[in-house]
């Protein structure tokens, strides 16, 4: 077994992942000795791959599309924010030394809110927000957005029943509801939390949702602008941004959980943008 602490991101179709580079830069800047790899598995192989990784001494996993809800089921203990989200994007060993106990956390929402409010200086308080998608990423960001002061949060998803269920699940936290194809006017912020961008597809957006006061934010990140952001510009949005800042910020939260030190994110974000 290798003596260096091992971490990885686990997902399906990880060709686009920048997580190894981000955690490599965090490790360098904080003087941590660790290595970070990629584990690409379909849903059927997820549980076995996680168990093998931790049984072999692995110290932590970032969990990405499409495994966040499956990771929740595997964790034997959850942080309060992971329990609230109903999705896990970070796994760490629990108390048992044989890899059987797993702590599940969710750092996505903290990462998104930090990117919006700290990196981009966007004031969330009182805003009307439309969230597209109802998968693991959407689950992770709903509570932090409502707790971050969003005035009204509307959910729209290809499978409408999933958005309706999410709206009910988080109704105790604030003004949240699902919407159909008629959005009810322009939003100040539209967040694409679908995985459509990963396949170069445009998710359906309710009519009239995007206008000259709308900031469009795609959780997905790619070398060039996603179809959703191209659509946003064509629709006359005030701004169109990719989720690279969120990626770096959620990674920093995971790094803090694993290593007990919070890395400085600004230089890493600058390095990734070169």
Give the active site residues: 68
Least gap, CB of 65 to ligand NDP (angstroms) = 4
Q: List, in order, residues 6 or more apart from 183 with CB less than 8 Å away.
A: 130, 154, 156, 205, 206, 207, 208, 209
Is 198 near ligand NDP (CB under 6 A)? yes
Applying CB under 6 A, among 13, 66, 94, 149 the residue interacting with ligand NDP is 66
| Per-residue three-class SS string for 148-212 | CCCCEEEEECCCHHHHHHHHHHCHHHCCEEECCCECCCCCCEEEECCCHHHHCCCCCCCECCCCC
Number of C-beta neighbours around residue 165 at 10 A? 15
Looking at the Cβ atoms of 79 and 250, the one nearer to ligand NDP is 250
CB 242, CB 223: distance < 8 Å: no
Rounded-to-5 percentages of helix, strand, coil across the chain: 40, 20, 40
225-245 b/e (C-beta count within 10 Å ≥ 16 → b): bbbbbebbeebebeebbbbbb
CB 42, CB 18: distance < 8 Å: no
Looking at the Cβ atoms of 112 and 146, the one nearer to ligand NDP is 112
Where do we find the tokens 């091992």? 6
Least gap, CB of 96 to ligand NDP (angstroms) = 28
Least gap, CB of 68 to ligand NDP (angstroms) = 5
Looking at the Cβ atoms of 79 and 197, the one nearer to ligand NDP is 197
Is 194 near ligand NDP (CB under 6 A)? yes
Where do we find the tokens 């969990």? 63
Distance between CA atoms of 237 and 77, rounded to whole angstroms?
42
Is 109 near ligand NDP (CB under 6 A)? no
Stretch that binds ligand NDP, among 17-25, 92-100, 121-129, 245-253 (CB under 6 A): 245-253
Stretch that binds ligand NDP, among 37-45, 120-128, 180-188, 190-198 (CB under 6 A): 190-198
Is 201 near ligand NDP (CB under 6 A)? yes
Q: Which of 14, 60, 4, 33 is nearest to 251 (CA)?
A: 60
Looking at the Cβ atoms of 127 and 250, the one nearer to ligand NDP is 250
Is 197 near ligand NDP (CB under 6 A)? yes
Per-residue contact flags (x/-) with ligand NDP for residues 24 to 63, judged by CB under 6 A: ----------------------------------------
Per-residue contact flags (x/-) with ligand NDP for residues 130 to 169, judged by CB under 6 A: ---xxxxxx------------------xxx--x-------
Q: What is the DSSP letter of 141?
A: H
Enumerate binding residues for ligand NDP (CB under 6 A): 65-66, 68, 108, 111, 133-138, 157-159, 162, 193-198, 201, 203, 219-221, 243, 246-247, 250
């Amino acid at each position: 077994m290798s003596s260096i602490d091992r971490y990885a991101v686990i997902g399906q179709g990880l060709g686009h992942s920048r997580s190894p580079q981000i955690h490599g830069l965090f490790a360098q800047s904080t003087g941590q000795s660790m290595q970070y790899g990629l584990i690409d598995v379909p849903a059927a192989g997820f549980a076995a791959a996680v168990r093998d990784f931790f049984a072999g001494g692995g110290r932590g996993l970032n969990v990405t599309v499409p495994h966040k809800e499956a990771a929740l089921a595997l964790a034997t203990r959850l942080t309060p924010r992971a329990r609230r989200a109903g999705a896990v994007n970070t796994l760490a060993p629990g108390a048992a030394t044989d890899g059987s106990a797993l702590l599940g956390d969710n750092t996505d929402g903290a990462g998104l809110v930090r990117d919006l409010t700290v990196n981009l200086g966007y004031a969330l308080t009182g805003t009307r927000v439309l969230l597209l998608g109802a998968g693991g990423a959407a689950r992770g960001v709903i509570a932090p957005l409502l707790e971050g002061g969003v005035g009204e949060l509307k959910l729209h998803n290809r499978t409408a029943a999933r958005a309706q269920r999410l709206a009910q699940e988080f109704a105790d936290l604030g003004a949240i509801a699902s919407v159909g194809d008629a959005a009810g006017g322009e939003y100040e912020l539209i967040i694409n939390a679908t995985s459509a961008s990963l396949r170069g597809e445009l998710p359906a957006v309710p009519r009239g949702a995007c206008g000259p006061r709308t900031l469009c934010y795609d959780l997905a990140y790619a070398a060039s602008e996603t179809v959703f952001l191209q659509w946003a510009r064509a629709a006359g949005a005030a701004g169109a941004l990719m989720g690279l800042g969120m990626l770096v910020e959620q990674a920093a939260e995971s790094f803090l959980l694993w290593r007990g030190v919070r890395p400085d994110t600004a230089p890493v974000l600058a390095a990734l943008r070169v």
